[in-house]
Amino acid sequence: MTMRYGAVDIGTNSCRLLIAEVDRYRQLQPIYQVMETTRIGEGMDGSRLLGEEAMVRTIACLGRFKEQLDKMQVAKYRAVATSAVREAANRAEFEARVALETGMDIEVISGHEEARLSYEGVMRGLELDTSPLVVDLGGGSTEFIFPELDMLISVQLGAVRATAAKMTALQMRDSLKELSCFKDRLVSHPLVMVGGAPSTMVAIKKGMLDYRPDLVHGERLSFAEIGDLYELLESLPLELRRRLPGLQAERADIINKGALIMLIIMEVLGKREIIVSESDILHGIIWSLADADS
C-alpha cells in the first residue's frame, strides 16, 4: 500500500515543504516540493527574540503549507523547527501562534535530532561505497554527522548568522576548531554537504535558469571550483548577484558567507571535494514517518 507523507522544515532562512509517497517496496517518490524565504531568524542576533514581522511572514507561509497538506490528503506529516526557533526566548509564543492560526503542530528539535534526520536523508538518497561525513549547512547552525565515530556536532555557524554578525574567516575557523581532532580519521570518507548554500553553488556553476534538484543531487564540487565561485560572488555588488543565473534573488545577500563557510569547513577537514545531496532532513522526516508505520 502506498502512503502519502509530509515534511516541513522551518529553518533560519527559509521554510520548505516536501510531500512524498512511500510504496510497499520502500521506494520514496517526491510528488510536491516548495521553498519560501521567510527569514524567521531575521534580527535575532543578540536579542534571542523572534521578530514580529518575521513571525507573521513565517506563519503565513506555514498556513499555505497546511492548506497544501490538506489538499493533497497527506496521511501524516511532521513539521520541525531548527536553529532560530530553538534558540528563541519567545519560541513558545511562536509555537502557540502557529497552532492557533494555521492548525499546524510544530516540533522544535535539538541540533542532534536535526543532524540525525539529515544523515538519514542522505544515506537513503545517495549510493556511496564508503560511509560519509555529512555536513548540514543551515542559516543559523551547521551539523556534522559521522556515527561511526560517534560524531554528532552542532555548531552555531550558518549563512544567515555569519552574514548578520559579519563573521571573518578567522572567526569561522575558531568556531570549527573542535573538528580538527576528527580530521585524520575522516581521510578516506567522502564529505557530503546538504543545505541551501551547497545546492546553490552547484546551480550557479551550471548556470541554471530554473532550479533542477535532479541536476544538483550527487554533483561534486572541488575546493578550487568553490573558491572560484566565491571570488565571483565577492566581485559582484548585491544587485548584480541577484541577477546571477542559478542564484535565487532572496539568497543573494547571504550566499557569500555560505560559500566561505563551505571553504573553511573543507580547509579544516583537509577535503578537496564535496558531494552535494538534495536528499536531506526533509527526506529524513518522511522516512521517520514511514518507518513508524512499517
| 3-110 maps to CATH 3.30.420.40 | yes
Nearest CA-CA partner of 125 in 70, 72, 194, 74:
194
Confidence of residue 288 (pLDDT cuts 50, 70, 90): very high
What cell numbers appear for 282 in the block?
526533509
Q: What is the model's pLDDT at position 92?
A: 97
Residue linked to cell 547552525: 141
Q: Rounded to whole angstroms, how far apart are CA atoms 78 and 274?
A: 29
Does this chain's domain 3-110 share its CATH topology with 127-278?
A: yes
Q: What is the model's pLDDT at position 126?
A: 95
CA distance to 138, 158, 162, 172, per residue, from 54 (Å) = 17, 18, 18, 26
Confidence of residue 52 (pLDDT cuts 50, 70, 90): very high
Taking residues 82-97, report their average pLDDT. 95
Taking residues 50-71, report their average pLDDT. 97
Q: What is the model's pLDDT at position 294?
A: 81
Quote the mean pLDDT of the chain. 95
Does pLDDT of 124 surpass 80?
yes
Does pLDDT of 287 surpass 80?
yes
Q: What percent of the chain has pLDDT over 90?
A: 93
Does pLDDT of 21 surpass 80?
yes
Amino acid identity of residue 7, one-letter, is: A
Does pLDDT of 138 surpass 80?
yes
b/e map 237-255, b = 16+ CB within 10 Å: eeeebeebebbbebbbebb
Confidence of residue 1 (pLDDT cuts 50, 70, 90): confident
Does pLDDT of 45 surpass 90?
no
Q: What is the model's pLDDT at position 111?
A: 87
The per-residue pLDDT for range 219-239, each reduced to its tens digit, is 999 999 999 999 999 999 999
Question: Which segments of the chain does DSSP mark as H helices, in order?
Answer: 52-71, 83-87, 91-102, 111-125, 159-165, 169-175, 196-205, 213-216, 223-235, 238-241, 255-269, 281-293
CATH hierarchy code of domain 127-278: 3.30.420.150
Q: Rounded to whole angstroms, how far apart are CA atoms 9 and 133?
A: 22
Q: Where are the domains of the chain?
A: 3-110, 127-278
> Which is it for strands 76-81 and 106-108: parallel, antiparallel or unpaired?
parallel
Q: Are 1 and 27 in contact (CB under 8 A)?
A: no
Neighbours of 184 (CB within 10 A): 8
